[in-house]
Amino acid sequence: MRRLIEYEESLRLKSIFDKHLLGATEEDEETLVERRRRRKKKKRSQSIAGVRVSPRISVAPSCIGSKHGINMSNTIEISITIHDFATTETANQIVCELYENETEDEEKWSKVGTSSPVRFSRNIVFPDKFSYQYVFEKTQLIKAVFSRCYERDKPSSSSCDILATSIFKVDELIGSFGLQLRRQLQKTGSIASALSGTIRVTDEYLGGIIVSAEMPEKEQPIVVQFHGKSLDRKDFLWDETAVFFRVFRLEEGKDDDSLVFLYESEAIKNHSHPQWAEFRLDTQDAADNRNRLLEIWVMYKDVDGKEGYIGKFLTTYAKMKYGPGSDNVYSVINDVKKAQKKSYENSGKMELVKFTDVSFYSFLDYIVSGTQLHFEIGVDFSSPEPVHELDQRRFDGELHMAIRAIGSIIRDYTPNRLFAAFGIGAKIPPTFHESNEFFLNFSMDPICRGLDGVMEAYRKTQTMVTPLKESKLSPVINYVTRMSHRSGFRGLHYHVLALFTRGEVTDLKEIQQALNSASDAPLSILIIGMGDFDFTPLQKVCSKRKDGRRDVVQFIHLKSLLNGAEAPWLNKSRIAETALRNVPQHMVQYMHNANIAAKPPIQVCRSPLFHSSSLIPDKPTEFNFDVAKDDRHVGIEIPSLMPNLMLPPDLSPRPRQDRRGSDSQYLDVETMRGSLTVRVPERCHSVLQTNREQYQRRLKERGLARMKFPRVELSTLESSGGSTQDSSL
């Protein structure tokens, strides 16, 4: 009994002593709880003294741009300029209204936007830009309407006040060189004339417009990954806390500093060596200034969700740029513990294990930088059963529609409008042997001029060959794969092969091997089944894909896309959208796997005929032997001494007629001796992304040292009457 009384007395004294140390009594329990809360808050505030934390202001991409809810990687900004406005009507102010249409129905134009009023003149520049979402697989039409503007800055709704209109395809704008397109102005325009691709000056010609497109600034995130080591625990025994970190951008203010929250990692129950997953930071957020301070808090979280503070460290984008190593191993410092303990070193280590500047290039980025699309066609003539005349007509009509639907979109990205066409599964003349790989035009080259040339070659071949009962598609796939590898510089060419078949394909294993080989080539393959045949085995082959191989093929059953009750343009639109939907993804995967970066977009267009094909300097250097008209040229009068001089074949300029481009844009560069002027196509300097002066200097310093010029001896000319040449050096 005495022991029990002594134990109770000791407990009472201990409680009184504890309350005395904490500065509390039995009557102020609430004050004690509040004091503990303030003490905990004070300890945390000491680590970030004078710093305010604010959330990052982020704008969803769907809130920017046009009405579609846009992915910014496929958004362009369109600007309009009128030149040589030749209308006889007058107005004080004029506005530009932009309409879009994805059909061939003249009644389905929807407004994109209206510009601010501009003073009427002969040459008008509209300062406003229209945001528009580009979709590759759709035929997108834009109509620019220019009308008078009266009071209250509103355009007139009367058709009598419309001064001019112009209709163009977005594909033509994207595929044009320098993202500039020239079109004529007319009083009224039609969709049919815009889709025909012909520009004719008629009596309604009122001048022209220059349509320019720009791409908004794209995000370039940085990929970062941290690992921890020996981080402090909450308790030494039975610690169930998980450790995580937060990344802030330090903003220095006049009165105090503030922190802008950027990222929070996942929580890991491993204090000794946590390995967090990599994360991305937007360059504009983390590195608007290369020396922008980033403050990283290392914290823990218990099972109840309560958070605790371990320590922090500072870094910058410029320092992390050095990559993993001793320079990017950081000590986690807790300011409170450092102030209390003289022997305190750190609360653990944080190590940078990955840092990468990543540029996520989209399909539009590659197209704008000059990548050309090429369309190849393979037609399978085989049929497991005899074909009746009615069925053959139906097959011809569906084939014509499908080729037109796909080719009318890809041709705007092909500068020369030349398409390779192949035949499959037929006995061909003159020996009528079985062949699964022959040129549709029966020439030495499978190239046909335009889609009309492809259809004309098909019609002629159909009357000359005998269909087989079975066919093999792998030979044509292998041929186009080899052709895509030989098409030129990597990244400047991408191929789309469309195979049309209605028969029984027997080489399924060979097709699978050919598709695996094609995954390493700049190629997408569309296998289009036509008719009522069972294509289940072919569909299974197209759905198989080896691990590590990119997706390269798509199967389309044409019958499921056709509806005889609808207008033909609706069927064509459905075919194009289904067939070309995955091509942008295929091309981007190939570019990323091959480590091909998109070049900066070319912003200059000096000719309406300039095209992205000008990225490839296909014209030889031109040499001008004209007499110098100023004192800078020193030498003899070459034209008067050798009027019949013939240049060697390798120096003679041969302009190619199968590419679109300006033949008059050249840079004149003088040789060291001053007696010869070299003319180099000016469009080449856009590829180098240098200005005119830098390009001139580079040619003088390095380029001309490797050029060979014909040497002319005066004695030889005098003895032979100017008809002899010596091209040796």
Identify the domain boundary among 594, 619, 648: 594
Residue 333 domain-assigned (yes or no)? yes
One domain, residues 204 and 310: no
Which pLDDT value is given to residue 62? 32
pLDDT exceeding 70 applies to what percent of the chain?
68
More confident residue, 186 or 23: 186
Residue 106 domain-assigned (yes or no)? yes
CA atoms of 329 and 436, how far apart (whole Å) = 63
Question: What is the Rg, in whole angstroms, of the alpha carbon atoms belonging to the chain?
Answer: 36
Identify the domain boundary among 338, 357, 376: 357
pLDDT, mean of residues 699-703: 60
pLDDT higher than 50, residue 225: yes
One domain, residues 537 and 392: yes
SS3 category, 622: strand
Give the count of beta carbons closer than 10 Å to the beta carbon of residue 3. 7
pLDDT higher than 50, residue 384: yes
One domain, residues 572 and 428: yes
Q: For tokens 């005998």, name the residue.
A: 466
Which pLDDT value is given to residue 553? 94
Encode pLDDT of 114-150 as tens digits.
Answer: 999 999 888 999 999 999 999 999 999 999 999 888 7
Please say whether the beta carbons of 372 and 493 come within 8 A.
yes
Q: 534 burial class (0-12, 13-18, 19+ CB within 10 angstroms)?
A: exposed
Confidence of residue 605 (pLDDT cuts 50, 70, 90): very low
pLDDT higher than 60, residue 228: yes
CA atoms of 259 and 473, how far apart (whole Å) = 62
543 Cβ partners below 8 Å, 6+ apart? 555
> How many domains, in total, are found in the chain?
3
pLDDT, mean of residues 572-599: 91
Residue 630 domain-assigned (yes or no)? no
Identify the domain boundary among 357, 373, 402: 357
Residue 84 domain-assigned (yes or no)? yes
One domain, residues 102 and 142: yes
Q: Which of 173, 298, 169, 290 is nearest to 228 (CA)?
A: 298
pLDDT, mean of residues 501-530: 92
Which pLDDT value is given to residue 311? 93
One domain, residues 323 and 387: no
CATH of the domain at 569: 3.40.50.410
pLDDT, mean of residues 657-675: 41
Structure tokens at 703: 């380029």
The residue type of 525 is I
Q: Is the pTM of the predicted complex or chain greater than 0.75?
A: no
Contacts within 8 Å (CB) and 24+ apart, 712-721 = 712/638, 712/641, 712/642, 712/645, 714/636, 714/641, 717/641, 717/642
Which pLDDT value is given to residue 176? 84
One domain, residues 197 and 248: no
CA atoms of 81 and 210, how far apart (whole Å) = 5
One domain, residues 490 and 590: yes
CA atoms of 346 and 295, how far apart (whole Å) = 16
Please say whether the beta carbons of 613 and 659 come within 8 A.
yes
One domain, residues 158 and 232: no
CATH of the domain at 275: 2.60.40.150
One domain, residues 288 and 385: no
b/e map 402-418, b = 16+ CB within 10 Å: bbbbbbbbbbbbbbbbb
One domain, residues 446 and 571: yes
One domain, residues 508 and 532: yes
Residue 352 domain-assigned (yes or no)? yes
pLDDT higher than 50, residue 332: yes
Which pLDDT value is given to residue 529? 94
pLDDT higher than 70, residue 663: no
Please say whether the beta carbons of 467 and 383 come within 8 A.
yes
Residue 25 domain-assigned (yes or no)? no
CA atoms of 159 and 608, how far apart (whole Å) = 30
* Domain with 435 in it: 363-594
Structure tokens at 634: 């020193």
- Mean of pLDDT over the chain: 76
Which pLDDT value is given to residue 585? 92
More confident residue, 660 or 311: 311
Q: Which of 429, 430, 428, 410 is nearest to 418 (CA)?
A: 410
One domain, residues 79 and 200: yes
pLDDT, mean of residues 361-373: 89
Of the spans 67-71, 103-107, 206-210, 311-315, which averages the highest pLDDT?
Answer: 311-315
Residue 87 domain-assigned (yes or no)? yes
Residue 613 domain-assigned (yes or no)? no
